[in-house]
């Protein structure tokens, strides 16, 4: 079975580093970007199955990144990691599957959410 390809946008480098390591160890293929704009650039040249994104990031935030990626792929599976009230992030609901995770995260939680939205 092919590894699930995850486009990950997280500006907190220490969180990104350990997430990439743990998710890779869990069998995912990670495309890591430091903010929304970098993730959008990566999306131009690489295929991926699911977007894992923080909300507040410099240059382009997670909300804008989701909006622009959905213009290309309306049913894109998305997992959002947020330090804000996840209720507020409900505005990000779209046609595709969406899971909202509240920080602090648990790796097994992230894994389960990624598998869940992809298999939706």
Residues that bind other proteins (CB under 8 A): 12, 14-15, 18-19, 21-22, 25, 55-56, 58-59, 61, 63-64, 81-88, 91-92, 102-107
Closer Cβ to other proteins, 2 or 91, answer by number: 91
Distance of CA 75 to the CA centre of its chain: 14
Element (H, E) at 80: strand 78-82
How open is the CA angle 108-80-41, to the nearest 5 degrees?
115
- Smallest distance, other proteins to C-beta of residue 18, A: 5
Closer Cβ to other proteins, 74 or 83, answer by number: 83
CA 25 to each of CA 21, 22, 39, 114: distance values in angstroms, whole numbers, following the listed order: 6, 5, 21, 14
- Smallest distance, other proteins to C-beta of residue 117, A: 20
- Smallest distance, other proteins to C-beta of residue 93, A: 10
């Amino acid at each position: 079975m092919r590894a699930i390809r995850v486009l990950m946008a997280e500006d907190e480098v220490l969180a990104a580093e350990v997430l990439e390591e743990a998710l890779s160890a869990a069998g995912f293929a990670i495309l890591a970007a430091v903010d929304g704009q970098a993730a959008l650039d990566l999306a131009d040249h690489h295929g991926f199955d699911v977007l894992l994104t923080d909300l507040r990031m410099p240059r382009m935030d997670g909300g804008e990144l989701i909006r622009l990626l959905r213009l290309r792929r309306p049913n894109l599976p998305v997992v959002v990691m947020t330090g804000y009230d996840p209720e507020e992030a409900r505005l990000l609901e779209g046609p595709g599957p969406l899971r909202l995770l509240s920080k602090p995260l648990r790796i097994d939680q992230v894994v389960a959410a990624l598998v869940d939205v992809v298999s939706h």
